[in-house]
Amino acid sequence: MTEQPQEVAPSLAARVLIVPIRFYRAFISPLLGPRCRFYPSCSAYGLEAIAVHGAVRGIWLTVRRIGRCHPFHPGGIDPVPPRPVRSHETQGR
């Protein structure tokens, strides 16, 4: 039998960071129209990065991604990197 990864509730810091991203997606992004040169969009990337990596690393990955969004970058598919497996997390299985 294989174990399913446990879902961990986002921390308070992560939830605080998610609110402005959701606000942007609901109210600002529709006014600007589709402009993203990446898939997934930067806001979707930010939500996923914070959910997968937590507040600190998630926001760092999101800032790096937004920094790559400029006319001289070709864009393309840029998924959130997977969370690294640490040796203490695999012991005892």
pLDDT in tens, 37-80: 899 999 999 999 999 999 999 999 999 999 998 888 888 998 99
In the structure encoding, which two tokens stand for residue 78, read together?
């840029």
8-33 confidence digits (pLDDT tens): 677 889 999 999 999 999 999 999 88
pTM listed for this prediction: 0.80
Q: Which amino acid is at 79?
A: P
Is omega for the bond preceding 40 within 30 degrees of 0, making it cis?
yes
Q: What is the CA radius of gyration of the chain?
A: 16
What residues does each domain of the chain span?
A: 38-78
